[in-house]
A and B are shown apart, each in its own frame.
Chain A
Amino acid sequence: MSFGVEVQDLTVEYGRTVALERASLTLAPGAIHGLLGRNGSGKTTLLSVLAAFRRPSAGRVLVDGEDPWENPRVMAGTCLVRESGDVEVDTGMKDTLDYLERARPHFDRDLADRLMDTFELDPRRKPTKLSRGKRSAFGAVVGLATRAELTLFDEVYLGMDAPSRHAFYDALLEDYVEHPRTIVLSSHLIEEIERLLEHVVILDRGGVLLAEDADVLGARGARVTGPGPAVDAFVAGRRVLRREQLGPTVQATVDATLDDAARAEAHAAGLEVGPVDLQSLVVHLTAKEPAR
């Protein structure tokens, strides 16, 4: 009950604006993928194409092995939640849940009702009468209860307070464990979702900057701290993402996986080596002007 995704040389243009240019990636079925990148990097456009909301300008997109555009099976198995979802806003949320129960093949009404309680959403209220955070929470309810084979959350956390966001993450994990499916989370709150991700795709300027398993990415990058000359000597020949100096002490963030020998070399030079969290890595990798 999971859809995989293959994207090859995907280009999407809005008039003269190129949102995605020859982007290629693969999303394995049955995993939680993080789709990260700066504003305007093409995340929403990519998700829109996967959900058959938009048609590519060029390239090939396969969801569960087939073109999603006007494909009843693939479209029914794909759910893109943009904020509060593409739902009726001028009727009570109960009506939307009734509608989705008829329209979506795997929609779990019990789960939806439980999540409505969790997020303290009154089913009789209209989405237009809700705060932004509550509307986003309703989107989370829709996305989770739909149990689509490919579930895409595009910045679904917008406006949600911290307890609600964590309730969403917990509900997502709990339901994912019971009903494994392919989930893509697009978010700027990387620190919060990092623990959920099994695979990470970083988009930058309409292209795929990197796509790696989260474990591999976790080992990628290192922070080297110590006396300036020693740090500079150690990072020479390595890709430096960021360099900060405080008095005689320098901290350099390098895009490199340091093996045991390299770490021993660093220690011998009096340097401290620490990990780089995913958020910092994304920030440095997608920075407009690299440190060097």
Chain B
Amino acid sequence: MAATTVPRRSMTRSERHNQILGLLFISPWLIGFLFLAVIPLLASIYYSMTNYDFIREAQFIGLTNYRRLFTIDPDFWKVMYNTFYYVLIGVPIGAGMAFLIANLLNSDVKGRVIYRSIIYIPSIVPAVCTAMVWLFLLNTQYGAINGTLKSLEWPTIPFLSNPDMSKPSLIIIYIWTQGAAVVIFLAAIQDVPRSLYEAATVDGANAWHKFWNVTVPLTTPVILFNLIMGFITAFQEFTLPWLLTSGGPMKSTEFYVVNLYRNAFVQLSMGKASAMAWILFLIIIVFSLVLFATSARWVYYGGEK
């Protein structure tokens, strides 16, 4: 970013040549940025202040969409609650589990590559396949779990058909797909200099001390990065709730983007959907900023501090 603030002086011929070349090389991205990001972003602000359904002309209504969402919309706060429930519970548990599994994989075991592969593979299986598998796995009658419970004459668990169970069930599936985070954490843990552990051993630290005072502090930058990316993706969760429960039962899994998609492409309320998208965007920005702001307290950046 500093490059723009360098005091201007006239460029030499080769510098000017490079300036043109550089811009030329990045021009594909620049054009895309303009037409696929900037212009749609501005258009989206405009649409969020209109009534638009493809049939009639867009009609400017100011901030009405926003006001309606916050005040009279029957679903909006329910959708917010569902989303925050999923995000605030799912992401920390998912990241925590991934971190613990990564530490387990880092211990002195044989066959680490195999365990790592097994944990990672579910995260790259197509989401549609994941949805089909879990749909039947969690089936109340004949799923693997409930079929077993039934044969033991124990009460079955209505994973996806009970509004109180549906969000936890989706969180379980979410955790199952966190293999990529495990791989990232494992790489970060392996990057911790061995000398630190050796020094700790000399000082008489046990495994717990080493974990808590060496591994955790030195991997906090990666933990922060993962949490932020995790929150951003979880706020935008769509495919699994859409395919597994399509928002039900009783709208208990009607997550933000599921509802946004429904408004845009089922109800054709493009204005309302745009307003929702902007609210989501702001939520994500605020969330990331808050995480960054707190990070000074818990993220350790080598000697830079």
| Chains A and B come from one and the same complex | no
